[in-house]
Amino acid sequence: MDTTTNETDGMELSETLEQLKADTLASLDTAADLAALDAIEAGAVGRESPIAAARRGLGKMDAAQRRDAGRMINEVAKEIEAAVAVRKDQLASEARAAAIAAEGIDVTIDYVSVPSGRIHVVQQVIDEVCDIFIGLGYHVAEGPEAETAWYNFDALNTPPSHPSRLESDTMYVDYGNPEDEMLLRTHTSPVQARYMEQHDPPVYIVAPGKTYRNDTVDATHLPVFYQIEGLAVDESITFSDLKGTLAEFARQFFGSTTRIRLRPHFFPFTEPSAELDVSCFNCDGGESSCRVCRGVGWIEMIGCGMVDPRVFDAVGYDPSSVTGFAFGMGVERLAMARHGIDSIRHFIDNDLRFLEQFPG
Ligand code: PHE
């Protein structure tokens, strides 16, 4: 600034400031958001602004000029800052209103209700049985549904001549050459053999899964059904361990007053073998008209026995150092007994009136 023309300088300064104020105030309305507003504010009163330049010029003025000019600069700066603050409030409340409009829920709008699915009653029973055995220290194991004849039969001490190996009983994928016959597993017992091959004793597992037999559909048979296998192998496992374990399972699954009984039976892979019946939880053996046990008082539930030493041989365990028990149960049969279901066909009919009765 030229100090010899002070009058004109004063005039020029006030004009410059007025111009700055007018321009700035006019541009405030065009600021669309807070960032744009900050930029305008910085341009008018910030470090590099005309106001800052004017303040730097004060040092070259005499005292009286400096006082007048200083007051003028401060007033303009204050007015600009006040106008910026007003616009800032305005932008903030606009942004708030927009956010509320965008995020708000109109509770009066009609909605399409999507029915939630539920777990099939057969899967519910599988989960429940597995949970009970997990509580007893067992692990869950799985195996393939398309199985070799070796794991499904031979490793389980079931000789080639056994009638269950005929095509009339078993569904084959590849049949005829005993070396590489493939079939749809007829029980979950091959998981025993596969698991023992892969793991050293002790073994405590349950193996749930789908099984297949060449059966015609009727009230108690499906060609595709579910089983849960159990296997415990350890040092000095006895038949009492088998009995105690399955009695505990029956109490947890069917109710605390449930009793069990064992009837001698035959399975190629266990010796001795038994069928386990549970006392009828509906009539407890008291009613000849009971719809669950039909007056028998007992419900046939589980095949079981002590693992045959030949099975241990087949999987590479030493039969002189370990013993074990195994059991197998039909999941649909458990579900039918538990819920008083009269036909196994209900499980595959997909009738929602049936399925909805088991919310899980
Ligand atoms: N695998 C037998 C069946 O399908 C059941 C069973 C399993 C029996 C384990 C004894 C031991 O009938």
pLDDT in tens, 16-71: 888 889 999 889 888 888 888 999 999 888 888 889 888 888 888 888 888 888 89
Q: In whole numbers, what is the pLDDT of the chain averaged over residues?
A: 91
Highest mean pLDDT, choosing among 8-12, 105-109, 153-157: 153-157
Half-sphere exposure of 279 (CA within 13 A, CB side): 14
Query: How would residue 196 be classed by pLDDT, with cut points 50, 70 and 90?
Result: very high
Q: Which among 147, 183, 215, 267 is the best mutation to test ligand 1's pocket, defined by most ligand atoms within 8 Å of the CB? A: 267
Range in 67-71, 139-143, 204-208, 234-238 with the lowest mean pLDDT = 67-71
Identify which has the larger pLDDT, 303 or 97. 303
Direct distance between the N- and C-terminal alpha carbons of the chain, in angstroms, rounded to an integer: 88
pLDDT on residue 7: 47
Q: Looking at the DSSP assignment, which residues form a beta bridge with residue 182?
A: 148, 174
Looking only at the bridges linking them, the beta strands covering 139-140 and 203-212 are parallel
Q: Which of 238, 138, 228, 143 is nearest to 193 (CA)?
A: 143
Contact indicator for 192, 229 with CB cutoff of 8 Å: yes
Q: Nearest-5° angle of CA 193, CA 197, CA 201?
A: 95
Integer Cα distance of 67 and 61 in angstroms: 9
Query: How would residue 2 be classed by pLDDT, with cut points 50, 70 and 90?
Result: very low
Please report the atom of ligand 1 found closest to the CA of residue 330: 4
Integer Cα distance of 11 and 35 in angstroms: 34
Lining ligand 1 with CB less than 6 A are: 187, 189, 229, 267, 270, 303-305, 326-328
Looking only at the bridges linking them, the beta strands covering 203-212 and 224-234 are antiparallel
CA-CA-CA-CA torsion sign (17, 20, 24, 26): positive
Residue ranges per structural domain of the chain? 3-103, 121-355
| For ligand 1, atom 9: residue with the closest CA | 327
Q: Please compute the mean of the pLDDT values over residues 216-231 and round it to a whole number.
A: 95
What are the two backbone dihedrals, phi and then psi, of residue 153, each rounded to the nearest 5 degrees? -125, -65
Q: Which among 269, 276, 311 is the best mutation to test ligand 1's pocket, defined by most ligand atoms within 8 Å of the CB? A: 269
Please report the atom of ligand 1 found closest to the CA of residue 328: 7
**C-alpha 135 to ligand 1 mean position (Å):** 22
Collapsing DSSP states into helix, strand and coil, what is residue 50? helix
Query: How would residue 300 be classed by pLDDT, with cut points 50, 70 and 90?
Result: very high
The sheet that has 172-174: what strands, in order across it? 146-148, 182-184, 172-174
- Whether the pLDDT of residue 3 is over 70: the answer is no
Q: Which among 189, 196, 222, 233 is the best mutation to test ligand 1's pocket, defined by most ligand atoms within 8 Å of the CB? A: 189
Query: How would residue 10 be classed by pLDDT, with cut points 50, 70 and 90?
Result: low
Q: Please compute the mean of the pLDDT values over residues 298-306 and round it to a whole number.
A: 95
Give the rounded distance of the alpha carbon of 195 from its chain centre. Answer: 26
In CATH, the number for domain 121-355 is 3.30.930.10
